[in-house]
């Protein structure tokens, strides 16, 4: 079975061995994962889909698209996204858009700390931030691997002051 992914110009193959053992849940997951873009830009239109996806870990790159480093950073971010496809949903939050300030402040970041990476687990609201001057594949990979292994440099439990969940 072959699936053509128009968004990132990829052809995806579901191996014949896998077809024999596939059930509705596995097929649904294959289709959902492979219909997503490698990197989805955060917007009022995409936010609903982002929170309704099966992928419960999101990595946000908060960066101004007008910055001189944007193209190179985005290229590295997309390469890293391929490494975690189906495990982590990669999202771009354009800090140059005023309305995205709510997302940035939700993760307790200031504009002066951007660009930054934020990894967020939707299931239990666990998250960690990593302000960075340069986005590289290695940096993103190490940050994601650390989070997946439970090694977070900074806890964000907000134990004293629980923040209510707000639709971003």
Average pLDDT over every residue of 107-135? 94
- The residue ranking higher by pLDDT, 68 or 5, is 68
**85: which residues sit within 8 A by CB, 6+ positions away?**
33, 38
pLDDT digits (tens, 9 = 90+) for 16-44: 555 666 766 665 555 544 556 789 999 98
Confidence (pTM):
0.73
How far is it, in rounded angstroms, from Cα 131 to Cα 103? Answer: 15
For residue 27, give both structure tokens: 């097929």
pLDDT of residue 48: 81
């Amino acid at each position: 079975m072959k699936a053509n992914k128009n968004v990132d110009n990829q052809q995806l193959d579901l191996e014949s061995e896998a077809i024999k053992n596939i059930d509705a849940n596995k097929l649904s997951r294959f289709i959902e994962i492979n219909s997503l873009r490698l990197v989805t830009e955060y917007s009022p239109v995409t936010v609903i889909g982002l929170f309704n996806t099966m992928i419960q870990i999101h990595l946000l790159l908060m960066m101004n698209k007008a910055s001189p480093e944007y193209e190179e950073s985005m290229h590295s971010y997309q390469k890293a996204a391929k490494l975690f496809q189906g495990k982590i949903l990669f999202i771009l939050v354009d800090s140059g858009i005023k309305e995205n300030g709510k997302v940035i402040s939700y993760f307790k970041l200031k504009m002066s700390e951007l660009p930054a990476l934020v990894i967020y687990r939707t299931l239990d609201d666990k998250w960690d931030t990593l302000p960075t001057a340069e986005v590289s594949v290695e940096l993103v990979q190490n940050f994601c691997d650390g989070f997946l292994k439970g090694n977070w440099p900074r806890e964000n439990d907000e134990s004293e002051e629980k923040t209510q969940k707000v639709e971003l």
